[in-house]
Amino acid sequence: MKEQIKQVIAGTANKLLARSQVREYCQARILQFLQESGAFRSWIFHGGTALRFLYMLPRYSEDLDFALESSKVALNIGGVMASVGKSFEAEAYGIDIKINDRAAVKSAFIRFPGLPHELGLSPHRSAVLSVKVEVDSNPPAGGITETSVIRRYVMLNVLHYDKASLLSGKLHAILVRPYIKGRDLYDLFWYLSDPSWPIPNLRFLNEALIQTNWKGLEITESNWPILAAQRLKDINWERAVEDTRPFIEKPSDLELLTKENVLKILKSRQS
């Protein structure tokens, strides 16, 4: 299957972009192996990579984010990742996996040592490409799930949050993170530039805020755009946009990612 990676990046001169394409291919294969392990019976796909795979978000994402459908479901992330590792090894990939399962959000760092060098993307034999997998074993209540069949390098049938719940996750990140990532700004702009995208799942958003000790107002249908706008007004916009640049398919999209445009769209969403 490494030949397929070489085909994916064959026409890409920009090595940074090619590296993102390779990571995305590896993400797709990880998802395939998770599917084969039965993970999608209880692992809910969400976050930036879910947006890209499900709805063609035009930016690359580094991580694979999941939430358990129920906190009562047993989670053996070490066993699941061991199965993923064996599947890659069967295809002659060098792989190294480090597990952290001590917190509620379990994580696995899946590393592919030497792969960037093998593909001509780095002069260093020691160069590593990595994908982080996170699974929230105690997600907030109220998220609504769906299943979708998608094709991105491989065929997948994934369990994921619905559109309203996905938007709630992004708003939660914007409201509670001590600093706002440029990727959060871009994703919010992308969500809201689609007038048909539903309003956030308010129960899910409020439950998530309670989990993270939110001291602000309860989020309602009328105030969520106002609170998001207030949070965004004083950030370092230029730095946030530059943080996003390496992950964007079309750099010209960032010309539209201005404070004025984002605040204007949020205002249009006020009821």
CA distance 221 to 55: 24
Q: Residue 59 in 3-state DSSP? A: strand
CA distance 68 to 97: 21
Supply the pLDDT for residue 266. 96
CA distance 225 to 228: 5
Supply the pLDDT for residue 1. 66
- What percentage of residues in the chain have a pLDDT greater than 90? 88
Task: Residue 207: name the closest of 138, 106, 134 by CA.
Answer: 138
Burial label, 171 (beta-carbon count in 10 A; 0-12, 13-18, 19+): buried
**Containing H/E element for 81?**
helix 77-89
Contact assessment for residue 153 and residue 4, using Cβ atoms and an 8 Å cutoff: yes
How far out from the chain centre does Cα 129 lie? 17
CA dihedral 174, 39, 116, 62 (to 10 degrees): 0
**Containing H/E element for 150?**
strand 145-152
The per-residue pLDDT for range 130-189, each reduced to its tens digit, is 999 999 999 999 999 999 999 999 999 999 999 999 999 999 999 999 888 999 999 999
Average model confidence (pLDDT) for the chain? 95
The per-residue pLDDT for range 87-137, each reduced to its tens digit, is 999 999 999 999 999 999 999 999 999 999 999 999 999 999 999 999 999
Q: Tell me, what amino acid is at 139?
A: P
Higher pLDDT, 251 or 174: 174
Tokens of 178: 């001590």
Supply the pLDDT for residue 82. 96
Supply the pLDDT for residue 48. 96
Using pLDDT thresholds of 50, 70 and 90, give the confidence band for residue 268: very high
Using pLDDT thresholds of 50, 70 and 90, give the confidence band for residue 234: confident
Tokens of 5: 């990676």
Q: Residue 45 in 3-state DSSP? A: strand
Q: Within a 10 A sphere around the Cβ of 50, how many other Cβ atoms? A: 24
Q: Across the chain, which distance is largest between two alpha carbons, in Å?
A: 56
Supply the pLDDT for residue 98. 97
CA distance 30 to 85: 9
What strands, in cross-sheet order, belong to the sheet with 63-68? 96-100, 105-113, 128-136, 63-68, 43-46, 154-161, 145-152
Whole-prediction pTM value? 0.94
Q: Tell me, what amino acid is at 147?
A: T
Q: Within a 10 A sphere around the Cβ of 235, how many other Cβ atoms? A: 16
